[in-house]
Amino acid sequence: MNVVFPQRRSQAWTLANCLTYGRLVAVPVLVALLFWPEEHSARFAALGVFIAAGITDYLDGYVARTYAQTSALGRMLDPIADKLLVAACLLMLVADHTIGGVSVWAAIVILCREVLVSGLREYLAELKVGVPVSKVAKYKTTLQIMALGFLVAGPAGETILPGTVTIGLVLLWIAAALTLYTGWDYMRAGIRHVIDEP
């Protein structure tokens, strides 16, 4: 008599992971739309994609926790998707001069912090040391996403809400200031573990 065991569903195709895949797919779509920065329809479409990606960022974590769909793959891909989305947006917005002048430094600070934290997390993971996300880091992320939303809308957004770009740039600078603070916080924690390592 043959015993038939139920097939185990692949962890790669849980709803939480599929939402993360969607955010990864959104990155090249967003970049393609921002290749036409003067086209208002392209700007609004890019904003729609960006908002949808932001919603999946919240939903994938919620779904993973609520329905016990956490996985190693999801933990790896989630921060990668977030960083790719932010980096791609910043680079395209600098390229089309939505972010220009001295505000480019705010973008540089944010990008450098992302590289720094990624490197620290990778190193500390080898030491089996976790890096918890602080409340300030969560505020930073929220402000950063809001800033990018306004800036992605850019000139198209100005037709609906005058001052859209200015609001985005102000929020970007506040996010950059919080980025410096949280980046130093992570760096200090990393250095402490390096010094204390036997």
Cβ count within 10 A of residue 174: 17
pLDDT tens profile 177-197: 999 888 787 777 677 766 765
pLDDT tens profile 91-103: 999 999 999 999 9
Residue 132: pLDDT over 60: yes
Distance of CA 78 to the CA centre of its chain: 9
Supply the pLDDT for residue 130: 63
Cβ count within 10 A of residue 101: 8
pTM greater than 0.95 (yes/no) = no
Are 112 and 126 in contact by the 8 Å Cβ rule? The answer is no
Q: What average pLDDT is seen over the chain?
A: 86
